[in-house]
Structure 1
Amino acid sequence: MAQIHLLSQDTINKIAAGEVIERPMAVVKELIENAIDAKANAVTVEIQDGGKALIRITDNGSGIASEDIELAFAPHATSKIKDVSDLLEISSLGFRGEALASIASVSQLEMVTKQREELMGVRFCMDGGEKKLQEDVGCPDGTTFLVRNLFYNTPARLKFLKTSQTEAGYISGLIERMSLSHPDIAFRFINQKQTKLSTSGNGNLKDVIYHIYGRDITANLIEVAREEVFCEMQGFIGKPVVSRGNRGMMNYFINGRYIKSPVIHRAIEEAYAPYSMQHRYPFTVLHIAVEPQYIDVNVHPQKMEIRFTNEKEIYQSVFHGISEALKQRELIPEVTFQEKKDTPERQISAATKTEPFEKKRRAGLQREERVVRQAENAAGAGRRKDSPGAAYDNLKILEELTKDVEVQAGQVAESAEYHTAAALDVKKQEPAEMPGPELGVREARLHGEAEKPDDEKELREECSGPAGPDAGRRDFSMKGPVKNAKQETLFEEGILSGRAQKEVKIIGQVFSTYWILQYEDKMYLVDQHAAHEKVLYEQLMRELREKEPMTQLLKPPVILTLSMAQQQAVEENGDVFARLGYQIEPFGGREYAVNGVPAHLPSVGTQELLLEVIDSLTEDAGRTRAPEILLERAASMSCKAAVKGNSSLPAIQMHELLKQLMTLDNPYHCPHGRPTMISMTKKELEKRFKRIV
């Protein structure tokens, strides 16, 4: 019995439509590109129900001749190219001849078009790919498409669309990029009969940036212009202060086409590296003109990917163009400042570079402490963020810590010459078992605790104690130290004991950032910002679990100018912000008024921190996330309002904050994974001063 069948043309069209038209945004993209190719200088986009119910796109372009209308809806029919040789020099946005046929096959489509030289226009209707009507009508020059009931005949595809609000967000983001890529075209976007965006089309790119991103970003722009033999780059980049926590504001266009390219991404980020902190991404709007023979856009039906025949030259052009623009705007003093080894920026960038740990020790304790900081930064960068109420396995965390530090620090974990203790201990709520002897020795070496064979033997004996139902389990509620304990254990409980809270001594503060504590025979260094962050985070999450959070009203309110993506994040996560204690409401246009912030985080009511909280949720637009994850993310960002480094605190505030920190389940790490404290034993200090050998 025959099992192979020839598919019908209708089935072929619907399969092909899935490659090109996967959501309403794809319809808008294809039709706007057609309008641009038709030399339109004004384009209006109107949607309802996120584009599922209606998409109307009107342009004043050249229109379609009446005799070409039916052919225009045939598969692989196009006016952009004639043969395969034209693919080598594509100057238009569209060229595949698939868009109209694909759209018509999965919707109820109506088109009204008129050329300038014609007296009458033509109205053409299709339903599921079948022609229903063609008649002459009176209409203005240009073309109007009405796409109704998208995917009405493919319910499986309709079912997998996001909410109307999310789909509208995708479309708004697309139109913003189209406006930036073609500032000489007047774009107007209408959603649910409300105008969301309107540009003048006067060709002024800075004016378009102002309409989309607002005054603050526009006031911090740097112009970029660079010309090479094979390409030309123009546009604007933001000063380093205009950075964000995601890549949402990195825009670049190749020959007027919005694309995503890892080559250009890397060039932009590395050009900004000397000026920005890690995990901060710049603002860019770059127009890059490349000779068509050097690129290939026929990679994917969506035309979002592109190949360069000269990737290295493209990278160098973008990198040097941005670097030179940053230097010319009197940012050279900051570069010189960052090259000094004692600046905070240098310390941050050093976390990603390997220090020469394998060299012999040349300095004393100061050099050793720097090694500890580098090792901890490297370890903290790879550690996952904790969440409240979760049970942690100390063995896995220490394995990850050891692995990361070994990669970054070479042989420092195995060298007996580095005797400093880097105590990054995490209190375990439900530990499964103690690590075995082999791992115990390796981790003890990392913390400077296995310096002689005798020390290794003691640690082995402690880690391989008697077996039993409670073997390896620690009692964190004990009131005193373990009897006959000859050295520090891997899981340090002393600083959390009730006695420690009464007997710990605050010696003072160094560099207006770190507290020096003493308890028994150990010295602790506490990062006041990380510690305060952890306390605020736990307080906020505890309130969310136990009661409604209190709100601190702001008078006057803070006014934020948001992009469409940020507006979507605020509207989609309104309940998240409300549960955290924020009061945010529309203030007209793109502006939102923040009337209240969480009561115990009043300092979060600054424009910069509020935008960071919103940006942290922008990354999840359209994704399925548990409400708890969104709450934790917003709470974590809110805790950036903690007391900063280089801030001197009175002794009474230190004592109160330390008391709160020591009552937490896991006081050792801030919500972002950085350590809140490190420690050094009296024995270590005595060895540094050669009091013992």
Structure 2
Amino acid sequence: ISCINQTKNGGRTLVVSTQGGETVRDNISCIFGPKQVQSLMEFQQKMPNETMLQEYGISEGSALTENLLQLEGCISSCAHGQGRSTTDRQFFYVNSRPCEPTKVIKLVNEVYHQFNQYQYPFVFLNLKMARDNVDVNVTPDKRQVFMDHEKLLTATIKVNNMVRLTAHAELEQESVLKSLTTTHISSGRTEQMKCEDEEITHPHDNEISIDTERPAVVKLDDEKVDGLSRKVIHMSVSIESIKKKIKRKKHKRSRDKHDVSVKFRTEIDPAKSQAAEQELRKEISQDMFAKMEILGQFNLGFIVTRLGSDLFIIDQHATDEKYNFEMLQLNTVLQNQRLVIPQKLDLTAVNESILIENEEIFNKNGFDFIIDEKAEPTKRVQLTAIPVSKNWQFGKEDIDELLFMLEDSPHTMCRPSRVRAMFASRACRKSVMIGMALSKTDMRRLVDHMGEIEQPWNCPHGRPTMRHLLNLDLIHNGKSLSV
């Protein structure tokens, strides 16, 4: 195959060509160069072990009877520099037909990132299976496919990928250890040689005399060891010089002790909210909230805390609202109302598959369905109940929104935008209000709650929950901070 680009002026430029190689490696070498082939490792066919089968909920008997899959292909080494910065060289096939199996692509990259988290692998993977187990008539471009025994397929690919990359990583580690051991032994011999070369004779205890004014001179005799001449070293030592060095070192330590480490530089300004939030994300971890000292309440609306030398001000209403909102998001199961007649959903085959796999998430959001596995694709799901909550109404558009979110993050708890708006309103009404006096116990509880949620920096309505006030060391040292 030869691909040529011909310009308007008649010039012809060869873009890519193959030489009819008999193997895939030969063709990869023609297109991407021999350097790419050197880093590739072949996939090895291996059945998943008992632990892997349990992880995917597959019985051992069914795994043996369903051994209808063959893996063919290669993946690049996990050594740093052998991967790619993007996924531009990943090729997946089913029965030699190019396709884009989303779950397989995600799994291969996730396993590779366990060994090399900064790069993506070169992948050529051809899945061979019976034609009856594959449905290619899902999308017009035939890139999306449905496969039977998908869990077994996923487990097989994962265990083969893990075994191959683990073996290579162990070889890399072994070679590094060998080089380090060799270096250590050679350096040890060098040190031993130096020690043998320098023999210092010490006088008897009754012959030692120290003169504080006059420096003592240590001289090493000039001898030859194994034909090598030893250097003569003269070293002057006196008690006064030692005292001066100790005094200088103490002065340097006391000076370094008073140097202030400034972590927060952004002013409290609505125009600089994003920069202030980035500083907090970088410097404050979840476990630090429990270590904060409660200093008191300011203006019946803010909590002042201290962490080391830094003072922080926390909005008592915004932080309580954020915590209540996250708890509602996580734990609330919406009540629903049954439909008199089940409603048909006009879903594509892909969206229908996503809905079936994430049915428990839809149930938590108040939607119930009847699923007929024997029906034709796009006609297997019917809506039987919709969520209700006072004046809030939900329907088909909320299902479409959930499907869109679950397409990129399957099995992740999520809520439609209107449900989040309802939870934000409820969280606001049940939270601690501005103007409410708080005891030290109440303030401690609110601050500890911030360490229990992943993103405590803003309330659901966008109001910041905390900001840095000042560093006490700057005040004690009389220094000013230039922003």
Task: Identify whether the pair has TM-score above 0.5, normalized to the shorter chain.
Answer: no
The alignment's TM-score, normalised by the length of structure 2, stands at 0.32
The alignment's TM-score, normalised by the length of structure 1, stands at 0.24
**Bigger-Rg structure (1/2):** 2
